[in-house]
Amino acid sequence: MTTPLITVENLKTWFPITGGVFSRRIGEVKAVDGVSFQVRRGEIFGLVGESGCGKSTIGRTILRLIKPTGGRVAYENTVLFDVEAGQQLPGREMRLLRRNMQIIFQDPFASLDPRMNVGAIVAEGLIAHGIVRGPEAFERAQELLHMCGLPANAINKYPHEFSGGQRQRISIARALAFHPDFIVADEPIAALDVSIQAQILTLMQELKEKLQLTYLFISHDLGVVRYFCDRIAVMYLGNFVETGTSEQIFANPLHPYTKALLSAVPSIEPEARRQRIILQGSVPSPANPPSGCKFHTRCPVARRECAENRPQLRELEPGHAMACPYVE
């Protein structure tokens, strides 16, 4: 088995809700509420689920862009933080480690500084970390832009002069500046046209093989996740409900929520007709989630016990785990 590059244990990220004259804390939004998983070196691990389920929060918390509420995250043998043990990697060491851990944001226009030309955007991190300076930094930026499929003259242009797909290529080039091992791809194709999405995914796959990258790929598009990811975790209201390889999840979905998601995926094959599963009600608020199993208010097979006991992931076959005690 491949050595884990990222290890996440019981990760929690809650955001405070304040109210009243003195802005006192009156509750929490439990965006991520106790998830554990490993990302193996060289693989693409996918997080999939409805908007607001906590996918992006996981990625940003791992990189310490968001302060965790609980849990432990390690990069190989280096602990980034362990909230319960009161342990956190010091700022200077974390800054150095960030060279190995980068992120590609969903909106390529909002994540690029409109006041800087593309060369300065890509070279900024290299200069800030003192890796290279002056003309050498911009030569490196030009190499990265070329690697990501952009012309040589792109280095002197500004973000508004490019299309959405080209701007995302700039974001990818910036993420590659430090030769990272691990990249969080936070819905990197969600804001792009379908025809451009395929080009960006192909580029990311080529770069993965060429540079030996590891991705945490976040998406709500099941079709993309199916063909792009090696392993997948399905999320609902801050928790994992099912994990497994791409083949296991799509060929043999076990959890009722996973089955409902997959039933909504259109197919061009006439013989591949699925029975459409319509979930009743709306997604509960993460500020006031249901007791027990968070999915029981919409689950077609829910029992009385589901409102009392919170299910844990259990492995039903090697590498395939599911959080429902009443479905085999």
Rama region for 231: left / alpha / beta (φ>0; ψ in -120 to 50; rest): beta
Which of the listed CATH numbers 3.40.50.300, 3.40.50.970, 3.30.2420.10, 3.30.70.100 matches domain 4-229? 3.40.50.300
What is residue 271's predicted lDDT score, i.e. its pLDDT? Answer: 54
Domain parsing of the chain, residue ranges = 4-229, 230-328
- Cβ-based neighbours of 323, under 8 Å, separated by 6 or more: 239, 240, 241, 242, 255, 293, 311, 312, 313, 314
Count of beta carbons in the 10 Å neighbourhood of residue 126: 21
Per-residue pLDDT of 196-220, as tens digits, reads 999 999 999 999 999 999 999 999 8
Yes or no: say if 168 and 192 are a contact pair by the CB < 8 Å rule: yes
Distance CA(9)–CA(36), nearest Å, equals: 4
What is residue 107's predicted lDDT score, i.e. its pLDDT? Answer: 87
DSSP-based three-state secondary structure for 210: helix
- Cβ-based neighbours of 203, under 8 Å, separated by 6 or more: 148, 149, 169, 172
- Cβ-based neighbours of 167, under 8 Å, separated by 6 or more: 108, 109, 112, 159
What is residue 52's predicted lDDT score, i.e. its pLDDT? Answer: 87
Lowest-pLDDT choice from 144-153, 177-186, 244-253, 257-266: 257-266
Yes or no: say if 323 and 241 are a contact pair by the CB < 8 Å rule: yes
- Cβ-based neighbours of 124, under 8 Å, separated by 6 or more: 116, 174
Segment 168-194 mean pLDDT: 93
Per-residue pLDDT of 278-292, as tens digits, reads 777 788 888 888 999
Per-residue pLDDT of 268-323, as tens digits, reads 565 555 677 777 778 888 888 899 999 999 988 888 889 998 999 999 999 999 99
What is residue 273's predicted lDDT score, i.e. its pLDDT? Answer: 59
Distance CA(53)–CA(235), nearest Å, equals: 6
Per-residue pLDDT of 28-59, as tens digits, reads 999 999 999 999 999 999 999 988 899 999 99
Reference 173, options 190, 187, 154, 186; nearest CA is: 154
User: Higher pLDDT residue, 182 or 128?
Assistant: 182
- Cβ-based neighbours of 85, under 8 Å, separated by 6 or more: 72
What is residue 302's predicted lDDT score, i.e. its pLDDT? Answer: 86
Backbone angles phi, psi at 298, to 5 degrees: -125, 0
Per-residue pLDDT of 107-147, as tens digits, reads 888 889 999 999 999 999 888 888 888 889 899 999 999 99
Decide: pTM greater than 0.85: yes
Residue for token digits 């979905």? 253
Residue 148 has pLDDT above 80, yes or no: yes
